[in-house]
Amino acid sequence: MQHDADLLRDTGVTGVSVRLTTPGGTVTARSGVSELGSSRPVPENGYLRLGSITKTYVATVMLQLVDEKRLTLDRTVEQVLPGVVTGAGNDGRSITIRDLLQHTSGLYDYTADVFPDPGARTYYANRWQAYRPAQLVAMAMRHEPEFPPRTDWAYSNTNYVLAGMIIEKVTGHTWEHQVHDRILRPLGLRRTATPGTSPHLPHPHASNYQQFTVDGPLFDTTIPYRPFDSGADGSMTGTADEVNDFFTALAGGRLLTPAALAAMRTAVPVPQDSGHPAGTRDGLGLFFTPLSCGGGYLGHGGSGFGYVIRAATTTDGRRTVTVSAHSRPADPQTAARQEDALRSLIDNALCRGA
């Protein structure tokens, strides 16, 4: 695993951290530096931005509400949030909660609107701006849907902004409150947080660096871009050990009934051009990816300016790995090499125990 972490670093990543949890114990690997210009290593179990891994926590809460018969997956968005999904051809009467969680709604991804001109200038000019969930959804509603519901698949952060709004409408409490009460507190995950618009990571943590132009400099982007790093689609922070604990508990059936977990794992094919490995399928906040040694793993990834994180667990929850990379390049070919190295690391970590 150390060899694989070094290979990922050698593709140009400033810092890499890996944590594998197995029945026989924990294995860690680190490579690179915590901060450019320093020789300090990446913290062994430092704080991380979880990005879109947040979606798995949110989907788990939604399925717990299904377990409690407070929601059904076939209930429409219009029935829960009247008048919210409408305009420009969008129709909440035809989009179900399942569609939101599985990215089959066709709803436009609002993130393109809050970062319209990619570059360092936009990041620094807008990174402190925060929006309410309803404002983000309203932005998306100005655009026609990508496709009619359930006729295709496309990843859209708008889906999970709506999921967070639904949790609050049904329970009377924010999605953050529900994640704490239903997942973090029962599992004892004291270093996992829902910081909302608070921009600071607790110490220790590695710095994140984004290259906005090919051959350009790396910019410190440890402060998140709050327009799309503040909500139910990607705002959580935590540590690798607690991410592993969560996915181990989820796959092991400790958070959902067998029926709800089966629904979460019922997946649709992901298009070949979506950037996911061949054979990937998307469930409800949980992807299934084939392993080279047979079978596959469950998990989710997250990314933002300057970081990529992946969490993956075998289908029985016995081997779980979290990998974090603390810089991102502008060159697509370099990004593809880093992605290949990251996927190989996960595959090797989970297959060694097969």
Average pLDDT over residues 241-248: 98
pTM score: 0.98
Taking the alpha carbons of 183, 186, 191, 197 in that order, is the dihedral positive or negative?
Answer: positive
pLDDT value of residue 353: 65
Inter-residue contact 5 to 345 (CB < 8 Å): yes
Residue 196 has pLDDT above 90, yes or no: no
* Mean pLDDT of the residues in the chain: 96
Sign of CA dihedral 275, 232, 136, 141: positive
Task: Write the pLDDT tens digit of every residue in 263-306.
Answer: 999 999 999 888 899 999 999 999 999 999 999 999 999 999 99
101 and 285 in contact (C-beta within 8 Å)? yes
Q: What is the largest CA-CA distance in the chain?
A: 56
Over residues 149-170, mean pLDDT: 98
Half-sphere exposure of 304 (CA within 13 A, CB side): 28
Q: Are 8 and 342 in contact (CB under 8 A)?
A: yes
Q: How confident is the model at residue 197 (pLDDT cuts 50, 70, 90)?
A: confident
pLDDT greater than 80 at residue 185: yes
Q: pLDDT digits over 41-50, tens only?
A: 999 999 999 9
> What's the Cα-to-Cα distance from 241 to each of 83, 108, 244, 303, rounded to whole Å?
41, 34, 5, 18
Of the listed ranges 114-118, 161-165, 181-185, the one predicted with least confidence: 114-118
pLDDT in tens, 55-103: 999 999 999 999 999 999 999 999 999 999 999 999 999 999 999 999 9
Q: What CA–CA distance (Å, rounded) separates 40 from 206?
A: 9
Class of domain 2-351: alpha beta
Q: What is the mean pLDDT of residues 103-113?
A: 97
What pLDDT shows up at residue 352? Answer: 87
d(CA 34, CA 280) in angstroms, rounded, equals 32
- pLDDT of res. 278: 92
Residue 200 has pLDDT above 90, yes or no: no
- Name every residue whose Cβ is closer than 8 Å to that of residue 188 and which is 6 or more positions away in sequence: none
Q: Give the residue numbers annotated as catalytic, written as ranges.
A: 52
- The token pair at 280 is 């990937």
**Token pair 């200038």 is at which residue?**
121
Domain chopping of the chain, boundaries: 2-351
CA dihedral 242, 225, 160, 141 (to 10 degrees): 180
For residue range 305-352, list pLDDT tens digits in order. 999 999 999 999 999 999 999 999 999 999 999 999 999 999 999 998
Residue 354 pLDDT grade (very low, low, confident, very high; cuts 50, 70, 90): low
> For 239, phi and psi rounded to 5 degrees?
-125, 155
Dihedral sign computed on CA atoms, order 168, 264, 150, 106:
positive
Quick one: tokens of 289? 């990816």
The predicted pLDDT at position 116 comes to: 86
Say what percent of the chain tops pLDDT 90: 95
Give 141's pLDDT tier (boundaries 50, 70, 90). Answer: very high
Quick one: average pLDDT of 109-114? 96
- What is residue 180's DSSP assignment? I
Beta-bridged to residue 22, according to DSSP, are 25
